Structure 1
Amino acid sequence: MRRPRSRRVSDAVRPFGERLGAAMSRRGPLCVGIDPHPSLLASWGLADDADGLRRFSATVLEAVAGVAAAVKPQVALYERHGSAGMAALEELLADAHDAGVLTIADAKRGDIGSTMAAYADAWLRDGSPLAADAVTLSPYLGFESLRPALDLAAQTGRGVFVLALTSNPEGASVQHVGQGEEGGAVARRITEAAASENARRAGSPRGTGGDGSPDDLGSVGLVVGATVGDAVARLGLDLAAMGGPVLAPGLGAQGATAAVLRETFGAAYAQVLGTSSRDILSGGPGAGGVRARAERTLAELSA
C-alpha cells in the first residue's frame, strides 16, 4: 500500500475562497463528486473493496483534472470500507493536491467543543493525511459550534461549506423553521452568519466582481441544493451578499440543469459551484467517457 503524503497549505498560498475563485474563472464553475457507490463500482467492473476505490478514484481524477475547478469525494463511501477505505481517500486527496485540483471533503461534520476541534484537526490541519482544501460542515448544533473549524480553516488557508438549504424533503422541517418570523428561517440565519464570518475575515464585504466573475470570494461557503427551487427567494437568502462560494449539488441525475441553477441563484450565480456526480461518473469506466461528460456539463454551466 502506498503511504499517503502529508499535505500543508503554505503561508504564501492565498485563502481558499480566492483560490477557488481563480479556479472557477480559469476552468469554469464545475465540481465533480467522486462517489464510489457499490452499484457504480459494479458497473465499472470494479470490486467493492479498497482496491476498487483506488482504481475508481484515480480514473475520475485523471479524467477531470483539467476540467473541474474542484472534486468532492463523498467521505461515507470510503469510510464504509474502514481503515483501508480511508487510506484510499487519503491517497486521492494527496494525488489531487499534486495535480493542482482543489478538494472538498464531503464529510458533513458537526459537533461541540473538543470533538469539533478534533474534526477540524482531521480535515483542516496542515500535515494531516486527511487534510482537504475544504470540508462540508453541519451547523445544526448552532453555527458557533463550528468555531474550531472556522478558525483553523482561516489559519491554514482552507475553506468550509456549511449546510444551509438542502434539497432532501426532510430538510425543510429544520431549515425552513422561522419563516415569516423575526430573524427569519434557520437557513437565512445560517446564510447571515456565513456572511458575517466572511466580512470579518476580510475586514470588508466580499462578493463577485463587477464583470460577474467569482472575484474575491470568502472562504466560508454554503451548501444549497441545486433543486431547491424558489426556496432561496422565499426564505430571503441573500447569497450574493454572503460573499462566499455556493456548493450546489444536484446537477444531472437529480434533475437540475444549468438553466435551473441560473433561475434559482439569480444574482449569486457567479458564486455557484455546480456539482454533478452520477451523471458524469456514469460515463465510465474509461477516463475518456467521464471527461466527455464533464466537459459537456461544464459547457452548459459556462454558456
Structure 2
Amino acid sequence: MTTGFRDTVLASATDRPSFCVGIDPSTALLQAWGLPDDAGGALDFARALLAASEGLVPVVKPQVAYFERFGADGFAALTRVLAEARDRGLKVIADAKRGDIGTSCEAYAAAWFGPRAPMRADALTVAPYLGVGSLVPVFEAAAADGAYVFVVARSSNPEGERLQQAGAGPVWRDVLDAIAEWEAGAGTPRTVGAVVGATAPGDLRQAVAALPEALFLAPGIGAQGASAGDLAAEGLSTPNILLSSSRAIARLGPDRGALRAGIEEALAGL
C-alpha cells in the first residue's frame, strides 16, 4: 500500500523540521541555467532538481504558475514532472493556490486528486478567500486519495500582511479555526494543514499550537530571508513543519552535483 503524504513527511524526520525542494522555472532562472524560456526548458530544469532531490528529501514543490505560463505545453511538461517525481519516490506538492466556490472546487479536485486526475499530485495548495467551507470538495478528494491540502493562512510575502492580519481574529487565525472545525467533524481527518511562512516564526508557533496534528508548509527559507535558526529559536523543530526552499537551491544549478550539495547543506542546517 502506498504511504500517504502526511505519513511520508512525518517519517522523514524526528527531531527537526521536514524539508522540500521548490521547483520554480522562472525566466530568470532558466536564463541563468542557459535553458530556453519555454516548456522544454522548464521540464529540463525540473528534471535536474528531481535528480538532485532523489534520496535526500521526501517532497518537491513545483510552482504551477511557472508551467501554466506556457499554456498547453506547460501543463504537458508539468504532467511529466509529476509522473517522473513519483517514479523517483518523491511526493509532490502542486503549488497552485486554487480556490473558488464549491462547485468549481469539485473540478479542481478532479484535476489534481484521484486515479483519473490528469495532473495527479500528492498535495495541493489552495486559497481560502471564498471561504474555507468552499474548499471542502478538495479536502474530501484529498482524503480519498491519501493526499493532503495546504490552505494559505499566513503567507511569506509582505503583500499578504494587510489582509491576513485584518480584524480582531486576525484573519489568518480565523482560517486556522475553520480548518480545525472541518477536521473535527470530518470522517477522515488529518487531511488539511496550512501555509504559514517561515518568515513569521512567532505566528508559525501559534499555528502549530492551534493545529497540533496538522502539517505546515513554511516557505521563505533562503531567498526570502528566513532560516531554520529563526524557527529553532521559537521551539519549532518538529517534522510537521515542512520547510521549503526554491531559489536558494536552484541558483546553484545547473550542475546537479552542486544542486545536491546545496540540498545536503540545507538539511545539515536544520
Both structures adopt the same fold (TM-score exceeding 0.5): yes
Query: How far apart are residue 73 of structure 1 and its match?
Result: 0.1
Counterpart in 2 of 1:137?
Answer: 126
For 1:171 and 1:229, locate their aligned partners in 2 and report how far apart those are by CA, in whole Å.
Answer: 16
Deviations 1:242-299 (A, max 9, x none): 41111011111111111112235x3574311110001111111111111100110011
Quick check: 1:262 aligned with 2:262? no
- 1:146 counterpart = 2:135: yes
Correspondence for 1:189: 174
What pairs with 1:228-247 in structure 2 (closer than 5 Å)? Answer: 228-232=200-204, 236-239=206-209, 241-247=211-217
Q: Cα deviations across residues 43-97 of structure 1 (Å, max 9, x unaligned)?
A: 1111111111111111110001111120000000000011111111000000011
**Pairs within 5 Å for 1:97-112:** 97-112=86-101
- The 2-side partners of 1:299 and 1:67 are apart by 11
Q: 1:28: Cα distance to partner?
A: 6.6
SS at structure 2 position matched to 1:146 = helix
Partner of 2:248: 279
Shift of 1:15: 3.6
AA of the residue aligned to 2:196: V
Q: How does 1:162-201 map to 2 (within 5 A)?
A: 162-179=151-168, 184-201=169-186
Q: Against the structure 1 CA distance between its residues 23 and 200, is the aligned structure 2 distance closer, same or farther, given a 3 Å change threshold?
A: farther
Q: How does 1:24-39 map to 2 (within 5 A)?
A: 24-25=13-14, 29-39=18-28
Deviation at 1:171, TM superposition (A): 1.3
Look up the equivalent residue of 2:261 and give its one-letter code: A
Secondary structure of 1:270's match? Answer: coil
8 Å Cα contact 1:27/1:69 also seen in 2? no
SS in 1 for 2:40: helix
Partner residue in 2 for 1:251: 221
Deviations 1:7-42 (A, max 9, x none): xxxxx4344212321234599711100000111111
Normalised by the length of structure 2, the TM-score is 0.92
Aligned residue identity for 1:115: S
Give unpaired runs (5+ residues) of structure 1: 1-11, 205-217
Percent identity between matched residues is 45
1:7-156, aligned counterparts within 5 Å? 12-25=1-14, 29-156=18-145
Q: Using the alignment, how far apart are the partners of 2:211 and 2:100 within structure 1?
A: 27
Provide Cα deviations, 1:132-175, integer angstroms capped at 9, x if missing partner: 00000001111101011011111111110000101222212221
* CA deviation after TM superposition for structure 1 residue 200, in Å: 4.0
User: Following the alignment from structure 2 to structure 1, what is the Cα–Cα distance between the partners of residues 115 and 15?
Assistant: 26
- My pick for the range that moved more, 159-168 or 21-30, is 21-30
Aligned to 1:207: none
Is the 8 Å Cα contact of residues 138 and 163 (structure 1) preserved in structure 2?
Answer: yes
Give the drift of 1:128. 1.5
Corresponding residue SS for 1:89: helix
Alignment partner, residue 196 of structure 2: 224
Question: For residues 238 and 292 of structure 1, do their structure 2 counterparts lie closer, same or farther at Cα, with a shift above 3 Å needed?
Answer: closer
Q: 1:238 to 1:251 in 2, by over 3 A?
A: closer
Amino acid aligned to 2:177: E
Report the AA paired with residue 252 of structure 1. G
**Aligned residue type for 1:284:** G
